[in-house]
Amino acid sequence: MQPPISAPQITSITLSSWRQNPAPVYVAQGTLMGVHAFVLGAEPGLVYLGLITPELSLEAQLARWQNKHQSPVIQDETPFDFAHWINRTWVLIGSEFQCRVWRALLNIPEGQVTSYKTLATAVNSPRGYQAVGQAVGANPLSVLVPCHRVICQNGDLGGYHWGLPLKKQLLVQEGAMTVGGGEKLVPRS
């Protein structure tokens, strides 16, 4: 299944507002692109999509979520229906700047990449490409909000929270990079 590039509805909330009235989040696990994944869903909708890797266990990520968001986590042992979650409202929990960056990521077409610098200009912060990079790295709906489509101005892949091999896999799957192709890509302007 190709990752979607838009949601039926997207809403944003600041972390401080979430903490004032935290909703319990429900955990559902499954497989996404051959990788063990999990989602956190709450009454407002989908609030987090995480990938389980040897470096980032489910337990560690849930503990980090609880600590940061101060929300109770309720484990659900049944595999999730991915289509169900992507059709729910996506809830972006972050600063106004982060939410602006995350919404801008949805404008990057599948099969294309952009640079941190170009993305910074798109969110009216032309000199803030490092802050944009930090916001991209904090994306709570990885893959759905396509942070993997952002690369360095010089064509290097840059970083990826879930590791460069997965970033490469996603870019190949979307047609932005060829198998065996060079590590350099051309960002769109």
> Which residues does the annotation mark as catalytic?
147
With contact defined as beta carbons under 8 Å apart, do 34 and 52 qualify?
no
SS3 162: coil
Q: Report the alpha-carbon distance of residue 65 to residue 47 in Å, rounded.
A: 10
Length reported for the chain: 189
Only one residue has tokens 């970083």, namely 159
Angle 104-62-137 from CA coordinates, rounded to 5°: 30
Contact by Cβ (8 Å): 110, 175: yes
Amino acid identity at 61: Q
Amino acid at 53: T
